[in-house]
Structure 1
Amino acid sequence: MLLKEAHALLTPSQLAHIGAGEVAYVRKMRSEEVSRCFPEAPVIDPQLDLWALFGADGTPILLTDNRSSTFFKAAEDDLKTISVH
């Protein structure tokens, strides 16, 4: 008798919503990436270090030049944060 492994399958939509409203991630951004994620942002000096806060599903929440601000915003929105390298 052969045993089949049971796999829990998630749809892409289900996977995208894991952690929604509970988890956010912080990541450093280059100025050339900004317009893709934050289209309303002005042109930014390429020498500036930028930090972005995103929802678990990748929704942009905050763009700043102050890393601490991302954590304050996450706490304000009751989100647990992780850093992405």
Structure 2
Amino acid sequence: MNTLLAPQRPSGLPDTLRLPSRDTRTSLLDRLALQLGLWLLLWSTRAPRLADDRRRHAQAYRHQEANTARERAYLREASLAPRP
């Protein structure tokens, strides 16, 4: 293509560099859609709880419950203990 015959711009800047002014903030709807998309992506890549051995899952659950009960008992005793 012969550039001498192409239409010339007075400023010398191509149109692609002339961006219209735009809002720099993302709308609430777009942010919610992005959050939902991220949540769905994370949810879809999770490892299902019962996909592995049921016995191991039950043992881990009992262990977690025992730890929680032990922590509650400690906090109860600490809060009821007489203060010097």
Query: Which TM-score band applies after superposition, normalised by the shorter structure?
Result: under 0.3
Which structure carries more strand by proportion? Answer: 1
Q: Structure 1-normalised TM-score?
A: 0.19
Which structure carries more helix by proportion? Answer: 2
Q: Structure 2-normalised TM-score?
A: 0.19
Which structure is richer in relative contact order (CA contacts within 8 A, separation 6 or more)?
Answer: 1
